[in-house]
Amino acid sequence: MRLLALTSLILASTLATGAFAAPAESLNYNVVNLSAEASREISNDEMHAVLYIEKSNKQPAELATQINQLMNQAIATARKYPTVKIETGAQSTYPIYDNDNRKLKEWRGRAQIRLESKDFKATSQLIAELQQHFQTQSLNFSISNEKRTNVENELMIEASKSFQQRAKTLTQAWNKANYQVVNLNINTNQYSSQPIPRMAMLKAASSADVAVPEQELQAGESSITVVVNGAIQMK
């Protein structure tokens, strides 16, 4: 009796597994992989800059005080531009030795500040002021998170409609009545930015009264692409 009950249980389990597997097996024919995409060139609306100072002193304590004063001065200057976000970056101090690497000559310190803003004019003016003591390490433009999200939402709709149209066209070409989506993936991580040439206004300035030509602010464009790919079963 126990053997019969065990056999019945195994048989029931096998039938149940087969019943659930049947729909999956029905997807093994007339299944086609498709992809569609939608792209758009968008003007960059956010400006990013990294500036740094590099000083030397035989006394590390005096060097640290000098750098801290300049950093605090930069932060105070940035307060005049409320539309520009400023934050401190990497900071380091290291020894400098003579040519024989035996005698300590001095200490050298380096510190960074980072600027971010959608207000290009204010950021450029701030950079011009800071260049009295700071040098520009890098400058780039990008699309803000808010703008990128809005554009991606629009492109997801465009790419999805394109996918549906391709599925419909392929179904008709194969003389099928309809189709069913088997799986669908949407990739919104396609993003590329055009390189921006270094602007003349970023060259080291000898005074704080540096004029920043507005016509040189060429933020460029970035490309956003949304890709929709998946599989359909033609019926």
Domains in the chain with CATH codes = 29-45+144-235 (3.30.110.170), 47-142 (3.30.70.360)
In a 13 Å sphere around the CA of 172, the CA atoms on its Cβ side amount to: 6
Q: What is the mean pLDDT of residues 174-194?
A: 85
* Residue of higher predicted confidence among 86 and 202: 86
Q: Decide if pLDDT at 124 tops 50.
A: yes
Supply angle C-alpha 215, 39, 167, rounded to 5.
170
> Considering the entire predicted model, what is its pTM?
0.70
Residues of the chain with pLDDT > 90: what percent?
67
Q: Decide if pLDDT at 11 tops 80.
A: no
Q: Decide if pLDDT at 226 tops 50.
A: yes
Burial class (CB in 10 A: 0-12, 13-18, 19+), 199: middle
146/132 Cα distance (integer angstroms): 34
Q: Count of CB atoms within 10 A of residue 220's CB?
A: 15
Contact assessment for residue 53 and residue 110, using Cβ atoms and an 8 Å cutoff: yes
> What pLDDT is stored for residue 70 in this prediction?
96
Alpha carbon 227 to its chain centroid, in Å, reads 17
> What pLDDT is stored for residue 24 in this prediction?
52
Q: What is the mean pLDDT of residues 201-211?
A: 41
Average pLDDT, the chain: 82
Confidence of residue 101 (pLDDT cuts 50, 70, 90): confident
Question: Residue 38's closest CA among 171, 222, 148, 187?
Answer: 187
Contact assessment for residue 63 and residue 55, using Cβ atoms and an 8 Å cutoff: yes
Lookup result for tokens 């016509």: 215
Confidence of residue 210 (pLDDT cuts 50, 70, 90): very low
Residues of the chain with pLDDT > 70: what percent?
77
Confidence of residue 23 (pLDDT cuts 50, 70, 90): low
Q: Decide if pLDDT at 234 tops 50.
A: yes
pLDDT in tens, 32-85: 999 999 999 999 999 999 999 999 999 999 999 999 999 999 999 999 999 999
37/223 Cα distance (integer angstroms): 13
